[in-house]
Structure 1
Amino acid sequence: MSFHESLIRGLYDRLAERYIADRPSVPWSERPWLDRFLTHIPPGGSVVDLGCGAGTPIGRYLLSRGHAVTGIDTSPRLIAHCRATLPDGDWRVADMCTLALSRQFHGVLAWDSFFHLGHDAQRAMFPVFRDHALPGATLMFTSGAEHGEAYGDYHGAPLYHASLAPEEYTRRLADNGFSVVDRVFDDPDCAGHSVWLAQRTH
């Protein structure tokens, strides 16, 4: 684990209550992408949410649509909140980078979480995505628009982000059996997110 990644893990657990208060109770800008993601998943299909945070709004929305949700986060405080408020989900304290659940899902989601990992950790995630994706499964994650690193600020704490180049994401997806369904950079209808939607083809 890099220094940057350890900072992120500590930040979200330390500021868990603020994060819970900051997140809206319903998906706003994320909803069109979540709906696109779900069009590729069968009714009642399973989704693993990597970096699920407080479970709201995304986990709550997926559950409301009838899907079986397994949420993964490194913050014990956030997972405790998920278990208390969304008991229909399966919420686990774990590190997405070393995840090995010995099962596969219809959907793999890493929204506003994967991009907190450093470059090498992101590269190592693509086999993790593959290992948890059923044949034909859908993968969606957010990234930056170009190779680089950046810091934001969250209640006075530095918030690390990193991105690979789009060409590298495309190559690593292909190398792990995924084809790109769509990608949009700096989506103005989604608060400037850069979003990847892919499907496991082999």
Structure 2
Amino acid sequence: MNSDSFSQETHEQAAAFDHIAEQYEVVFGLNKNHMAAVSWLLERLPPNSHILDIGSGTGVPTARLLFDAGHKVTGIDISSEMVRIAKYNVPTATFLQADAANVTFPPASFYAITAFFSLLMLRRDCIESTLQKLKTMLQPPSYFILSMVEGDFDYKKIPFLSQSLHVSAYPRDVIARQLENLSFTIFDSHAVQFQANEHTPTETQLFFFCQYQK
């Protein structure tokens, strides 16, 4: 898996993350709601579970928390710089430069999948097909945590740290319906307000805690 198969849009998104990789962890690495979501998962995982982290970033906090708890972690990210930093931060986990929309793993490869603020980097139609594909990689009964930013737009250009990115968003009830249509049971969901710094607007972050039982 590498960037050779990336679309032009994905290359542009990856380049933006390459530029902000060093500062990303400072801003987002200690998001208490993100860390609480990983803790929720850790309470339910059997020993030595294999987890796929979509949009693994710098490996902090998700991969590090999971690995420190004794689990096997595979992380994917479109940014080569993010992957480089993640390999340094969590050297015993596996990190690959790959696009969630095109990544392939055998069916039932993972006991859990996490996607913290990563699928929103795709167009809406691609988000929906990616969710369908990710479901096939889960070994039921298994878990899926999805976090998104609430809104109602498709691949909108926004300022992000020192770069510009394209993101997509849904109202929370639309995401819930999509997950339920894919046979995910939503154990819990909540919305929180988050502000990266005093110069950025507050956003509503959505967290969905799901199980897939087939």
Q: TM-score if structure 1 supplies the norm length?
A: 0.85
Give the 5 Å matches for 1:50-199: 50-103=54-107, 104-149=109-154, 151-186=157-192, 192-199=204-211
**Unaligned regions of 5+ residues in structure 1, if any?**
none
1:133-183 Cα offsets, whole Å, 9 max, x none, are: 111111011123343255542333223321234343233323323111111
Q: Which amino acid aligns with 1:29?
A: N
- Any gaps of 5 or more consecutive residues in structure 2? 1-5, 195-202
Q: Secondary structure at the match of 1:43?
A: coil
Identity over aligned pairs, percent = 19
Q: Do the aligned partners of residues 85 and 143 (structure 1) sit closer, same or farther apart at CA in structure 2, a change above 3 Å counting?
A: closer
- Inter-partner Cα distance in structure 1 for 2:171 and 2:28: 29
Of residues 29-38 and 166-175 in structure 1, the stretch that sits farther from structure 2 once superposed is 166-175
- Out of 165-174 and 135-144, give the one that drifted further: 165-174
What is the distance in 2 between the residues matched to 1:120 and 1:100? 18
Check whether the contact 2:18–2:79 (CA below 8 A) recurs between aligned residues.
yes
SS of the residue corresponding to residue 128 of structure 1 reads helix
| Contact 1:27 1:58 (C-alpha < 8 Å) held by counterparts | no
For the residue of structure 2 that corresponds to 1:42, the secondary structure is coil
Pair 1:27–1:154, CA change in 2 (3 A): closer
Residue 182 of structure 2 aligns with an amino acid whose one-letter code is N
- Residue 110 of structure 1 deviates from its aligned partner by 0.4
Secondary structure, in 3 states, of the residue corresponding to 2:87?
helix
Note closer, same or farther for the CA distance 1:58–1:88 as it changes in structure 2 (3 Å cut). same
Provide the rounded CA distance (Å) in 1 between the counterparts of 2:34 and 2:123.
24
- Please give the alpha-carbon distance, in whole angstroms, between the structure 1 residues aligned to 2:144 and 2:87: 24
Please give the alpha-carbon distance, in whole angstroms, between the structure 2 residues aligned to 1:135 and 1:52.
Answer: 23
Identify which of 33, 48, 56 aligns with 1:29: 33
In 2, Cα distance between the equivalents of 1:166 and 1:65? 31
**Is the contact made by 1:187 and 1:194 (CA closer than 8 Å) also made in structure 2?**
no
Match of 2:37, SS?
helix
Output the amino acid matched with 1:143: M
Q: Which residue of 2 aligns with 1:17?
A: 22
Distance 1:177 1:15 in 2: 36
2:10–2:78 CA contact under 8 A, matched in 1 = no
Instruction: Write the deviation string for residues 74-129 of structure 1: whole angstroms up to 9, x where unpaired.
Output: 11222122223322101111111111111521110000211222211111111222
Find out whether 1:7 has 2:24 as its counterpart.
no
| Residue identity matched to 2:73 | V
2:51 alignment counterpart? 47
Distance across 2 between alignment mates of 1:66 and 1:31: 16
What CA RMSD, in Å, does the superposition of the two structures yield over aligned residues? Answer: 2.4
